[in-house]
Amino acid sequence: MNELLMGAYEAVTVVLPAIAVFLILDRFYRRNGHFVRKSRVLPVLVFSAYICAVFYFTGAGTIFHLDMYGLDLRPGEMNLLPFSTEIDLVAYLQNILLFIPFGFMLPLIWPRTKSWRCTALSGLAFSALIEASQLINHRSTDVDDLIMNTAGALLGYVLFILFTRHIRQRTSGQYSCKFEPLIYISIMFAGHFLLFNEYGLAKILYNF
């Protein structure tokens, strides 16, 4: 039960900011005469749930880790030289698999981002945010993870192209800003970074 509460709390810190962005953008677009389907909120929710899962599996750092540990950068927890440490094929595969949904969903939800360059840069930026946040919670920050995550996003993009080759996407002139996914990702990261106090809730749930 406690694990469910912890997971629900983490999800709220990511999903609610995504909903807020959707409502703000929806109102902005409509006031400027642009068409947006209300049904697009569902894929946005799915995307936000996926982003939350990425934060969970990667152990993304938060401002509360900074309060606990301070800015104590340890060289042994950083690897800035690609493939300079022992090759861990399992870890590489996990990082690739983790970002395949990212590369698939990004162009599916936001067709204006439908290019391999945009997908790669978005995956790289998102991965870099996570790796940077891990500097403050004493998890490993590794450039190899950054490379494998970006490769996973590109593989997801290839799967998207193969999937949509025989399926016509229904955009019907629906408007979206080219940078909209980056807005969502930034706000969801900020929500998780500023609001997810895992240790604080754990003290309440487990009485320590």
Rounded to two decimals, the pTM is: 0.90
Residue 138 pLDDT more than 90?
A: no
**Would you state the pLDDT for residue 60?**
94
pLDDT per residue over 60-104, tens digit each?
999 999 888 877 777 777 888 888 778 889 999 999 999 999 999
Domain count, the chain: 1
Q: Is the distance from CB of 53 to CB of 115 less than 8 angstroms? A: no
- Which carries the bigger pLDDT value, residue 198 or residue 153? 153
The C-alpha atoms of residue 64 and residue 143 are separated, in whole angstroms, by 24
Structural domain range at position 188: 2-206
Phi then psi for 179, rounded to 5 degrees? -95, 10
Q: Name residues whose C-beta falls within 8 Å of residue 176's C-beta, 6 or more positions apart in sequence.
A: 36, 110, 111, 112
The string of DSSP letters for 53-87 reads: HHHHHHT---HHHHHHH-S---GGGEE-STT-S--
| pLDDT above 50 for 205 | yes
* pLDDT tens per residue across span 139-152: 888 899 999 999 99
* Residue bearing tokens 């320590």: 208
Long-range contacts of 168-175 (CB under 8 A, 24+ apart): 169/108, 169/111, 171/111, 172/35, 173/35, 174/35, 174/36, 174/37, 174/40, 175/29, 175/34, 175/35, 175/36
**Calpha distance 197→1 (Å, rounded):** 18
For Cα atoms 187, 74, 143, give the angle at the middle one, nearest 5 degrees: 60
Question: pLDDT tens digits for 11-42?
Answer: 999 999 999 999 998 888 888 777 667 677 89
CB distance 51 to 185 below 8 Å: yes
Tokens of 45: 């929710």
